[in-house]
Copies of this chain bind each other. A is one copy, B any other.
């Protein structure tokens, strides 16, 4: 738009040949694009794409060049998703590696090669368990560097201080970069992406600056130890990559609807690399974020998700050939009586979801409306400092949250020497391979695991960690740094699940003779897998917060690879969703969409009121009549007057004001552009030129100035509904067709107009919300 409009405006280059009549063939520059914070018209966009496609295929046989162009056009869909997959996988790998390194920098540095994280630094060393890693000689903690030793209170304090200092520094850097370079890089981005995919325009939200700043600040924010994850923001990063890739292909660059297909695929790729779950990613895109999801997009999303997953696997950021930090492989079965604790975990997840959503929304609203929101840098620094101060003393919160989740998911093999696996019976078993205690069910004495002092203290620490995570996450999500809530939510659930699992284990061990236990467990405690409880809890909590269902179960299924555990996961996720829905049907993303007043028309929500189109349309009874244009009676002056005196986005065109018989609909933006364009071309269009929208010019006196023919910008097929149409059908039409406005008729006469904004305001009103909270148009 800018290029062409500017060129013609400044008179550079040869003027387009033809003149007035060409208006029909040649599009008026700028017509068909959208302003910032506007809603796209899906029907128009899709019609434009079909036109373009027809043109290219019809020219296919004209020349070699056209043929190549048509082939390129046909393949560009696959090319663009390939690029999206490549970029998403690369960025995810880079972020993983950088965040691992920076997280370790908080505690120490690798002397031989400072760019290595602790694990890489100690690669050759045999002590790879968590507690003994500090002994690797190449890796120096800050207390070692400062004091020369690691013992005593002094060393602890130095390490503590360094940890907090680094955390605050990282957080400060992150929030400053976001503030200065790309304000859109903050948050998880998923509410905005949902809104964009539903057809809203937010310029720059998916730009290259946002991408760059988001990647850098995400690494900083994760490393600072704030209670946030990188999974949600990875979806935003992937969507930025998708948006950038779609700029390279005219098919996707010039069409807002087509570009959104690429973005749907990109969000699938983002989840795919976040969790190493390509199928789960596609379902996430389908269930949670996408709005218009044709089958072609399904297939391409799947492809993008796979490419991204394989790039990430090739980068191998975790050094274990796995896509995720917390890959688990369970082999023990679960038993029917365990469904009860799983349901309990689901209920806990649902309650956590409700608590989190309410608390977080209240806090974010406070941030929006009070002076507190004026100091975002200070807020981030304070929260980061507080988090670090409280987290360091507890080994479970000091650690990277991803690693914590992995440890909680994993089962206690005999090789594991962490506190969590400090069972007495472990000492007597040799290193016959993982899970040997579990299989040695023949000797019941061995299999009943009594907790050592380590397990008891681990439980206490885990409970404290749970409390800290619950509280601090509520205040963290929504700050002006990139922040996802998948990982903190999963951590909350995993801790709760693990604690419950160990408790169950001990109950079973203490009462192996109870009927429900003795029926299933032949060897006491060996029938409880606390790691499975952690996983179920994580799924339940994530489900409570996001209200995802199928995609969440499939993501978890891809983590474990066994159909066996789908039932526990489903039971917990369903319980969590039902409990959560009982307190309010919105997930955290929808709540944030509503908080920010984005014009998002949710496809999931049922509209169940009995209002009619006549109750929603404008003008109301008390308002002035609808601003209409007549199809051949107005002058340019009249037209400009109407535009100036109103602020509507578009105007119906009628035969005459008396008959109110509808001819078409014309957009304000298009009228302004057309008049400006006609004036610039200097074709004798003056203020008292007649404007006509009909196919033929009306009879004019000979001395009349040249008329302005506006039929090319007239939409001859506006959507109409009758005033008696129930609003549920109207909402359905808006949702399914993605239109921006519909005209309302009564017995064939034009009566009013309903815009998407009217629908959203009406829906807000129906659930007793402030209708003015819908901000944009």
- Interface presence of A726 (CB below 8 A): yes
If over half of A's interface residues share one DSSP class (helix, strand or loop), that class is named, otherwise mixed; here it is helix
Which 3 interchain pairs have the tightest Cβ spacing? A661-B748, A717-B725, A716-B724
With a CB–CB cut-off of 8 A, which chain B residues contact A655? 747-748
Are B660 and A54 closer than 8 Å at their CB atoms? no
Which A residues form the contact surface with B (CB < 8 A)? 43, 46-47, 50, 53-54, 57, 278-279, 282, 286-287, 294-296, 298-299, 302-303, 306, 309-310, 549-550, 553-554, 557-558, 561-563, 566-567, 570, 603-604, 606, 608, 610, 613, 654-655, 659-664, 716-718, 720-722, 724-726, 728-729, 732-733, 736-737, 745, 747-750
Are B716 and A608 closer than 8 Å at their CB atoms? no
With a CB–CB cut-off of 8 A, which chain B residues contact A282? 550
Q: What is the CB-to-nearest-CB distance from A272 to chain B, in angstroms, rounded to a whole number?
A: 11
The docked-state distance in angstroms from the alpha carbon of A482 to that of B567 is 33
Given A732-B43, A748-B745, A718 contacting B726 (CB threshold 8 A): no
Are A50 and B606 closer than 8 Å at their CB atoms? yes
Are A733 and B725 closer than 8 Å at their CB atoms? no
Are A747 and B663 closer than 8 Å at their CB atoms? yes
Number of copies of this chain that the complex holds:
2
Are A309 and B729 closer than 8 Å at their CB atoms? no
Are B563 and A309 closer than 8 Å at their CB atoms? yes
The docked-state distance in angstroms from the alpha carbon of A307 to that of B601 is 33
Q: Which B residue's beta carbon lies closest to that of A323?
A: B563
With a CB–CB cut-off of 8 A, which chain B residues contact A733? 737
The docked-state distance in angstroms from the alpha carbon of A654 to that of B747 is 8
Q: Which B residue's beta carbon lies closest to that of A725?
A: B717
Q: Which B residue's beta carbon lies closest to that of A694?
A: B747
Q: What is the CB-to-nearest-CB distance from A20 to chain B, in angstroms, rounded to a whole number?
A: 23
Q: What is the CB-to-nearest-CB distance from A405 to chain B, in angstroms, rounded to a whole number?
A: 20
Q: Which of B47, B295, B606, B745 contacts A604 (CB 8 A)?
A: B295
Q: What is the CB-to-nearest-CB distance from A766 to chain B, in angstroms, rounded to a whole number?
A: 13
CB-defined A-B contacts under 8 Å, sample of 27: A47-B726, A47-B729, A50-B728, A54-B608, A278-B566, A282-B550, A294-B603, A295-B604, A299-B549, A299-B550, A302-B549, A302-B570, A306-B570, A310-B567, A655-B748, A662-B747, A664-B722, A716-B722, A717-B721, A717-B722, A717-B724, A717-B725, A720-B745, A745-B748, A748-B748, A748-B749, A748-B750
Are B717 and A729 closer than 8 Å at their CB atoms? yes
Q: Which B residue's beta carbon lies closest to that of A659?
A: B748
Q: What is the CB-to-nearest-CB distance from A346 to chain B, in angstroms, rounded to a whole number?
A: 15
Q: What is the CB-to-nearest-CB distance from A693 to chain B, in angstroms, rounded to a whole number?
A: 11
Q: What is the CB-to-nearest-CB distance from A615 to chain B, in angstroms, rounded to a whole number?
A: 13
The docked-state distance in angstroms from the alpha carbon of A757 to that of B57 is 28
The docked-state distance in angstroms from the alpha carbon of A519 to that of B608 is 65
Given A302-B553, A608-B50, A287 contacting B278 (CB threshold 8 A): no
Q: Which of B46, B302, B563, B570 contacts A550 (CB 8 A)?
A: B302
Q: What is the CB-to-nearest-CB distance from A648 to chain B, in angstroms, rounded to a whole number?
A: 20
The docked-state distance in angstroms from the alpha carbon of A718 to that of B654 is 21
The docked-state distance in angstroms from the alpha carbon of A731 to that of B701 is 44
Given A43-B732, A53-B608, A722-B716, A661 contacting B309 (CB threshold 8 A): no
Q: Which B residue's beta carbon lies closest to that of A310?
A: B567
